[in-house]
Amino acid sequence: MVAVIEFAGVTVRRGSTLLLDEVDWFVEEDERWVVLGPNGAGKTTLLQVAAAQLHPTSGVAGILDVVLGTTDVFELRPRIGLTSAVLADRIPRGELVRDVVVSASYGVVGRWREEYADLDHDRAGDLLSEVGAGHLLDRTFGTLSEGERKRVQIARALMTDPELLLLDEPAAGLDLGGREDLVATLSQLALDPDSPATVLVSHHVEEIPPGFTHALLLRGGRVVDSGPVEEVVTAETLSETFGMPLLLRREDDRFAARRRPAQRVAQP
Ligand SMILES: Nc1ncnc2c1ncn2[C@@H]1O[C@H](COP(=O)(O)OP(=O)(O)O)[C@@H](O)[C@H]1O
Ligand SMILES: [Mg+2]
């Protein structure tokens, strides 16, 4: 097995605040990880390090057999597909969906006179179909629903045939139907052996797609637990991660969590 992420003691400090605190994390190429934690836990920071967008203050971050800081990140970044709200905001609303996807292969956001080979356009069309957005090719990005935009961003992230796919809260802002459609698409991707190693960030266990194999739980920049989903995603670890007593149900490979009601004191 080949390691795609090898973090040892990865720490990110801003002033006196520790955004990540001694994170150890090991991801292999056939694994699909979900990173869970409350708002402010450090999930986006963790993904930024994994995307070679941010260097740790201390510790060693190995990504795709490259140690961050020892090589040119501009060679590493095209090997990684990333979606995030920040990147989505940078996509011009008037850009055609086909160009949003195809322009990823040139490492640019926004189309600027490049001549794209027919092959690239064919590939963009195939990827859009794969994520259920094949019919949107000729729409402009600004006219899409939130759910459709997420699909287009995932197709864009896959365009460079990345060895590592990083998705930062792709279900944020979706309605129930949109979330369920996206979870199904991510599940399909996860179960496809040709898909790259994938890391999905979320703060809802309901968004864990079937086929995701591993979980990392983060609270206050520290790893609460990490490993295979069935060992790590439990009522106990989730309660610790989210700082409240939780009940957890698992049904048909999907999870649901809610607060554990306070115990009633038995009447004499
Ligand atoms: N540049 C920064 N300086 C200081 N604190 C920051 C900075 N960036 C993020 N933070 C803080 O670090 C914590 C982790 O942020 P983030 O990784 O975005 O968490 P998450 O994605 O889990 O919500 C948050 O409390 C956030 O306010
Ligand atoms: Mg975040």
pLDDT in tens, 197-248: 999 999 999 999 999 999 999 999 999 999 999 999 999 999 999 999 999 9
The bridge status of strand 32-36 relative to strand 17-28 is unpaired
- Predicted confidence at residue 109, as pLDDT, reads 52
> Is 190 a residue whose pLDDT tops 70?
yes
* Rounded-to-integer distance, Cα 112 and Cα 104, Å: 12
Percent of the chain exceeding pLDDT 90 equals 84
CA of 39 to the centre of ligand 2 (A): 7
pLDDT reported for residue 184: 95
Model confidence at 268, pLDDT cuts 50, 70, 90, reads: low
> Tokens representing 167?
């998705």
Q: Judging by DSSP bridges, how do beta strands 32-36 and 222-228 pair with one another?
A: unpaired
Q: Of the bound ligands, which one is closest to the alpha carbon of residue 36?
A: 1
What radius of gyration, in Å, describes the C-alpha atoms of the chain?
Answer: 19
CB 104 within 8 A of CB 157: yes
Residue whose C-alpha is closest to residue 164's, from 78, 37, 54, 71: 78
pLDDT tens, 91-121?
A: 999 999 999 999 887 755 554 545 667 788 8
Render the burial of 173-208: b for 16+ CB within 10 Å, e for the rest.
Answer: ebeeebbbbbbebbbbbbeeeebbbbbbbbbebebb
Q: Between these two residues, 13 and 120, which has the higher pLDDT value?
A: 13
Q: Is the CB of 43 under 6 A from ligand 1?
A: yes
Residue 47 CA: nearest ligand 1 atom is 17
Q: Which of 171, 157, 216, 177 is CA-nearest to residue 7?
A: 216
Report the residue among 45, 46, 47 best suited for mutation to probe ligand 1: largest number of ligand atoms under 8 A from its CB: 45
* Ligand 2 center from residue 45 Cα (angstroms): 7
Average pLDDT of the segment spanning 33-49: 98
Is the dihedral angle over the CA atoms 5, 59, 203, 227 positive or is it negative?
positive
CATH architecture of the domain with residue range 3-259? 3-Layer(aba) Sandwich (3.40)
Q: Is 259 exposed, middle or buried (0-12, 13-18, 19+ CB in 10 A)?
A: exposed
Ligand 2 centroid to residue 204 C-alpha, Å: 12
β-sheet bridge partners, residue 68: none
Average pLDDT, the chain: 93
What's the whole-number mean pLDDT along residues 160-171?
A: 95
Using CB atoms within 10 Å of the CB of residue 55, give its burial: 0 to 12 exposed, 13 to 18 middle, 19+ buried: middle
Q: How far apart are CA 65 and CA 73, in angstroms?
A: 13
Looking at residue 173, its pLDDT comes to 87
Q: Using pLDDT thresholds of 50, 70 and 90, give the confidence band for residue 78.
A: confident
* 21 or 106, greater pLDDT: 21
Q: How far is the CA of 115 from the centre of ligand 1 (A)?
A: 39
Paired tokens of 93: 């609303």
> What burial letters (b/e) apply to 66-104, b meaning 16+ CB within 10 Å?
bebeeeeeeebbebbbbbbeeebeebeeebbbbbbbbbb
Report the amino acid identity of residue 247. Answer: L
* Site to substitute for ligand 1 among 11, 14, 19, most atoms within 8 A of C-beta: 19
